[in-house]
Amino acid sequence: MILKKKKFWTVTKLKKKESKFGILLDKNLLKTPQKKDCLISNIRIAKDLLKEWSSIQDDINFHNMPVTQICFASLDRKRKEKIILLNKLTEYGMTDLLFYRDTSGTELEKLQSKKWDKLLDWIQNELDLDFKIVNGIMPVEQPKENYNTFFNELEKLDCISLTALSDIVTLSGSLILGLLLLKKKIISKQAWSLAKVDEEWQRSKWGTLPEQVEDDEYKKNKFFISCKLINLLN
């Protein structure tokens, strides 16, 4: 659902409150949907937030405000909801996109191996993990120890980083790519390209529909902004 409201203020500016930064809409501090002050400790993220609110001309369209979405969600999330999110993201790691390959020996399977295998080896060594790779789409059970390792890594993150990572993981289908971004082993452009290996190969064979291009641009923009926030905070 796309939420829209009419613009109700004239002046938008940054305001420092104690050690954090908020957005003033005229004389009113921007608040989250749960009526909490939207205060951000990182000045660069606060400036990105200011940019979104300053660019509004008529309607407030949260669909086109990814930084606002992430900040609101992270500030309003309760402890119980955080645990649910941690488990959800950990589950992605147990069924990660990078574990599943095309039929053995095919052109696509060779491409997947070329793009993904060295990074999988690196993250396995970095976090003492053990992955099982499978040809096809039937689920394969990963070692249970991986679950605890993934969960513990995610639990270290601050609320905004966790929310931004959630977008990265759900848009890519891969927790592994998210962790590689956090570890600064890859950059955002690489992560997006690695997540799209299968899709790009299919499109090279069958072409792209116009509506796919528009949808991809929205998802790509949201993905890159989430990557930017991750880089600023970690």
Q: In this model, does residue 109 exceed pLDDT 60?
A: yes
User: Does 123 lie in the same domain as 209?
Assistant: yes
Looking at residue 171, which CATH number applies to its domain? 1.10.3580.10
Pick the last residue of a domain from 41, 76, 111.
Answer: 76
User: Quick one: pLDDT at residue 6?
Assistant: 86
User: Quick one: pLDDT at residue 2?
Assistant: 46
Residue-wise pLDDT tens digits, 148-199:
999 999 999 999 999 999 999 999 999 999 999 999 999 999 999 999 999 9
d(CA 137, CA 198): 13
User: Does 95 lie in the same domain as 199?
Assistant: yes
User: Does 200 lie in the same domain as 189?
Assistant: yes
Residue 203: domain span: 79-233
User: Does 95 lie in the same domain as 39?
Assistant: no
Cα distances from 19 to residues 39, 74, 110, 154, 159, in angstroms, run 9, 18, 51, 25, 17
Overall number of domains in the chain = 2
User: Does 86 lie in the same domain as 71?
Assistant: no
Q: What's the pTM value of the predicted model, to 2 decimals? A: 0.90
- Residue 42 and residue 228 in contact, taking contact as beta carbons nearer than 8 Å: no
CA angle in degrees (0–180, nearest 5) for 47-12-26: 140
